[in-house]
Structure 1
Amino acid sequence: MKADILRLLYYNETQSIADISKNLSKSTPIVTKNINELVKQGLILDNGLGESTGGRRASKYGLNNTLPYLIISIAIDQHYSSFTISNLAHNIIAQQKDVPINLKEQNAGEIILQKLEDIVKESKIEEKKIIGVGISMPGFVNPEEKINDSYPKNSSLHHLYKQIEEKLNITTVIDNDSRCIAWAEKEFGHGVDIAHTLVINLNWGVGLGIIINGEIFKGATGFAGEFSHIPLSDKNTLCSCGKRGCLEVEASLNAAIQNTESDIENGEYSIYSTFVKVNSNKADALIEAAKLGDQIAINNLGKIGYMLGKGISTLLHILNPNKIIISGRGAEVGDIIAPQIQVAINEFSIPKIAKMTKIEISSLHKDAQQMGTAALVADHLIDNIIN
Structure 2
Amino acid sequence: MSSQFQTQILKSIYFSGTQSIAEISAFLGKSIPVTTKAVQQLIENNYIVSGGLRASTGGRRAAVYNLNTKAIGNILSISINRYSIVYAIYNISNELISDILTTNIDHFNDEEIYQSILTNSKKLIDEYQHARIFAIGVTTPGFVDSQLGVNNSYPKKSPLHDLAKRLKDNLHIDTYIENDSSAIAIAEKHFGKAKTTNHALVINLTWGVGLGIIVDQQLFRGNNGFAGEFSHIPLADESKLCSCGKKGCLEVEASLESSIDYIKEKLKEGEVSQLSKHIDNGDKSELLEALIQSYKQGDQLSIYAIKKIGYMLGKGIATLIHILNPASVIISGIGSVFGNILLNEIQSSIHIYCIPRLAQRTSIEISDIAHIQPIASACVAVTQSESLTTS
Q: TM-score, normalised by structure 2?
A: 0.94
The runs of 5 or more residues in structure 1 that have no matched partner are: none
Could you tell me how far apart the structure 2 residues matched to 1:386 and 1:269 are? Answer: 59
User: Which residue of structure 2 lines up, in the alignment, with residue 181 of structure 1?
Assistant: 184
SS at match of 2:116: helix
1:352 partnered with 2:357: yes
The runs of 5 or more residues in structure 2 that have no matched partner are: none
1:110 partnered with 2:115: yes
User: Which residue of structure 2 lines up, in the alignment, with residue 246 of structure 1?
Assistant: 249
User: Which residue of structure 2 lines up, in the alignment, with residue 329 of structure 1?
Assistant: 334
- Shift in Å at residue 121 of structure 1? 1.5
- Shift in Å at residue 12 of structure 1? 2.7
Equivalent in 33, 38, 44 of residue 29 of structure 1: 33
Query: In the alignment, residue 352 of structure 1 is paired with which amino acid?
Result: R
1:295 partnered with 2:304: no
- Shift in Å at residue 198 of structure 1? 0.6
Instruction: Show CA shifts across 1:211-234 (max 9, x none).
Output: 111111111101000000000013
User: Which residue of structure 1 lines up, in the alignment, with residue 55 of structure 2?
Assistant: 51
Equivalent in 232, 237, 245 of residue 234 of structure 1: 237
Equivalent residues of 2:140, 2:178 under 8 A apart: yes
Instruction: Show CA shifts across 1:323-380 (max 9, x none).
Output: 1000000000021211111111011100001111100001114x11111111111122
Equivalent in 139, 148, 160 of residue 136 of structure 1: 139
Query: In the alignment, residue 358 of structure 2 is paired with which amino acid?
Result: I
User: Which residue of structure 1 lines up, in the alignment, with residue 197 of structure 2?
Assistant: 194
1:98 partnered with 2:102: yes
Equivalent in 111, 122, 129 of residue 124 of structure 1: 129
SS at match of 1:21: helix
Percentage identity across aligned positions?
43
- Shift in Å at residue 273 of structure 1? 2.1
Could you tell me how far apart the structure 2 residues matched to 1:360 and 1:89 are? Answer: 25
- Shift in Å at residue 275 of structure 1? 5.1
SS at match of 1:281: helix
User: Which residue of structure 1 lines up, in the alignment, with residue 211 of structure 2?
Assistant: 208
1:219 partnered with 2:222: yes
Equivalent residues of 1:202, 1:330 under 8 A apart: yes
Equivalent residues of 1:179, 1:216 under 8 A apart: yes
Could you tell me how far apart the structure 2 residues matched to 1:352 and 1:49 are? Answer: 45
Query: In the alignment, residue 12 of structure 2 is paired with which amino acid?
Result: L
Instruction: Show CA shifts across 1:159-181 (max 9, x none).
Output: 11122111111111101000111
User: Which residue of structure 2 lines up, in the alignment, with residue 16 of structure 1?
Assistant: 20
User: Which residue of structure 1 lines up, in the alignment, with residue 289 of structure 2?
Assistant: 284
User: Which residue of structure 2 lines up, in the alignment, with residue 375 of structure 1?
Assistant: 379
1:72 partnered with 2:46: no
Could you tell me how far apart the structure 1 residues matched to 2:308 and 2:127 are? Answer: 43
SS at match of 2:108: coil
Instruction: Show CA shifts across 1:284-335 (max 9, x none).
Output: 1111111111111111111100000000001101111111000000000021
Instruction: Show CA shifts across 1:19-44 (max 9, x none).
Output: 11111122111111111111111111
Query: In the alignment, residue 211 of structure 1 is paired with which amino acid?
Result: I
1:3 partnered with 2:7: yes
User: Which residue of structure 2 lines up, in the alignment, with residue 361 of structure 1?
Assistant: 366
Equivalent residues of 1:82, 1:95 under 8 A apart: no
Could you tell me how far apart the structure 1 residues matched to 2:227 and 2:380 are? Answer: 18
User: Which residue of structure 1 lines up, in the alignment, with residue 316 of structure 2?
Assistant: 311
Question: How many residues are aligned here?
Answer: 384
Flag the 1:136–1:102 CA change in 2: closer, same or farther, 3 A. farther
Equivalent residues of 2:47, 2:72 under 8 A apart: no
- Shift in Å at residue 104 of structure 1? 2.8
Query: In the alignment, residue 349 of structure 2 is paired with which amino acid?
Result: A
CA RMSD across the alignment: 1.7
Could you tell me how far apart the structure 1 residues matched to 2:263 and 2:188 are? Answer: 30
- Shift in Å at residue 188 of structure 1? 1.2
Flag the 1:117–1:265 CA change in 2: closer, same or farther, 3 A. same
- Shift in Å at residue 64 of structure 1? 1.4
1:256-271 alignment, distance < 5 Å = 256-271=259-274
1:340 partnered with 2:345: yes
Instruction: Show CA shifts across 1:23-69 (max 9, x none).
Output: 11221111111111111111111221110111011101111133251
- Shift in Å at residue 93 of structure 1? 2.0
My pick for the range that moved more, 161-170 or 101-110, is 101-110
My pick for the range that moved more, 316-325 or 159-168, is 159-168
Query: In the alignment, residue 118 of structure 2 is paired with which amino acid?
Result: L
Equivalent residues of 2:267, 2:279 under 8 A apart: no
Flag the 1:54–1:22 CA change in 2: closer, same or farther, 3 A. same
Q: TM-score, normalised by structure 1?
A: 0.95
